[in-house]
Amino acid sequence: MSAHGLHHVTAYSGPAQRNLDFYRRVLGLRLVKKTVNFDDPGTYHLYYGDEAGNPGTILTFFPIEQAARGRLGTGETQETAFTVPRASIAAWMDRFASHGVAFETPVQRFGETVVRFTDPDGMSLALVGIDGLGETTSSEAIRGFHGVTLRLTEACPTAAILTDVLGFTERAREGAFVRLGSDAKLGGLVTIEAVGEAERGRPGAGTVHHIAFRAADDAEQEAMAARLRERHGLSVTEQRDRNYFRSVYFREPGGVLFEIATDIPGFAFDEPADALGEALKLPSGLEAHRARIEAVLPRLD
Ligand code: ZN
C-alpha cells in the first residue's frame, strides 16, 4: 500500500500565460504536463509539481482567459500550503516583494511558521517552513504540498471520511482548527476550520475546484469507493481515465468535491521524464482533433 495524503489540488485560474509565469517563474515549480481539460478540450489543463511530478506535489489549473473571480466561503478549500525549509522563509519574502506578490507577515500555526500569500487570481496560498528537510538542488525550493485547509460548517462528518476511508488520523486542535494527518511526507495534512453556518463559496478564478487523495492502484481505490458507499452512504462516480492517473469523485459531507486518484501510471506515461510539460499532450481520443484544439488554445511561452 502506498502513502496516503493529497495526490493533487485542482483550481480555476485566469489567463494561462499569467498562471504559467507565476507558478513556474515566481514559485519555481515545474510544469509537468501541458494538456487540455478532457471534459472541455478548448481549455488548457496545466499541471505543476516537483521534478518528477510526484503525488503530493501536483497543483493543477483550468485557466480561462476571461474568468470571473470566485469567492471564498464554506464548503470549499480555503488555503493550499507548500512545504519549504524554515531557513528559507526570509528569502521567500524577499522574492515575493521583488515580484510584487501580496504576502502577510509570518504567523505561527500548530508550532510552524506560515507565510500567507496570493497568486495573480487571488488564490489563497501559504508557505510553511519546516526543519530537517533533505537536500535538493535548491535549498529554497518548494518541496511539494504541506496540506490544505478546508472551511466547513462543522468538522466531524468530513473528519470521519478522512479517518475512516482516506488514511488520516487526528493530530491536533487549535481554536476552530482541527488538523488531520497521514503517513505521506508531502501533502500529508488536511486542516478543517469549522465556522458554523456562514456564506458558501462561489466557484471562479482563484478558487479550488477539487482536491484529490492518493490510492496506490485500482484495487485500493475500489476498496475506498466501496467503503464510502457502504459505510457512509455516499455516491461515488465510476472510474475515469485521466491518462496520468485514474479517478473517482464524490462530494464529501461538508460540500467539498473530493477525488481519489491512483499513483499509477504517472506523468512519464506519454512523454520522457526529462521533457515533461514541453509538448501539448492529448489523450488518444482527442488526438484526431489536435489541429482544431491547438487553434483555439492561447499560445504559451
Ligand atoms: Zn483531479
Domain 6-296 adopts which CATH fold?
2,3-Dihydroxybiphenyl 1,2-Dioxygenase; domain 1 (3.10.180)
pLDDT tens digits, 187-244: 999 999 999 999 999 999 999 999 999 999 999 999 999 999 999 999 999 999 999 9
The CA 94 to ligand 1 mean position distance, Å, reads 32
Q: Give CA 14 to chain center in angstroms.
A: 17
pLDDT tens digits, 154-186: 999 999 999 999 999 999 999 999 999 999 999
pLDDT tens digits, 44-99: 999 999 999 999 999 999 999 999 999 999 999 999 999 999 999 999 999 999 99
The CA 246 to ligand 1 mean position distance, Å, reads 9
Residue 169 vs residues 190, 211, 230, 295: alpha-carbon distances, Å: 10, 18, 21, 48
The CA 38 to ligand 1 mean position distance, Å, reads 11
166 close to 182: Cβ distance less than 8 angstroms: yes
C-alpha cell, 167: 488514511
| H or E stretch at 37 | strand 30-37
Query: Cell match 512545504: residue?
Result: 83
The CA 260 to ligand 1 mean position distance, Å, reads 8
pLDDT tens digits, 106-161: 999 999 999 999 999 999 999 999 988 876 656 899 999 999 999 999 999 999 99
Residue 258 has pLDDT above 80, yes or no: yes
pLDDT tens digits, 14-44: 999 999 999 999 999 999 999 999 989 999 9
This prediction's pTM? 0.97
The predicted structure's pLDDT at residue 66: 92
Residue 263 has pLDDT above 60, yes or no: yes
Task: For the chain, state the CA radius of gyration.
Answer: 18
Enumerate residues with CB within 5 Å of ligand 1 (an ion). 10, 212, 259
Q: How many CB atoms lie within 10 A of CB 42?
A: 12
The CA 21 to ligand 1 mean position distance, Å, reads 22
User: How confident is residue 2, by pLDDT bands cut at 50, 70 and 90?
Assistant: low
The CA 123 to ligand 1 mean position distance, Å, reads 17
The CA 59 to ligand 1 mean position distance, Å, reads 9
The predicted structure's pLDDT at residue 132: 80
Which residue type does 187 have? Answer: G
User: How confident is residue 301, by pLDDT bands cut at 50, 70 and 90?
Assistant: confident
- Quote helix, strand, coil % in the chain, to nearest 5: 20, 40, 40
The CA 87 to ligand 1 mean position distance, Å, reads 32
Apex 217 CA angle, 211 and 220, nearest 5: 85
Residue 93 vs residues 81, 90, 243: alpha-carbon distances, Å: 15, 5, 37
SS3 for 230?
helix
**Residue positions counted in the chain:** 301
The predicted structure's pLDDT at residue 25: 96
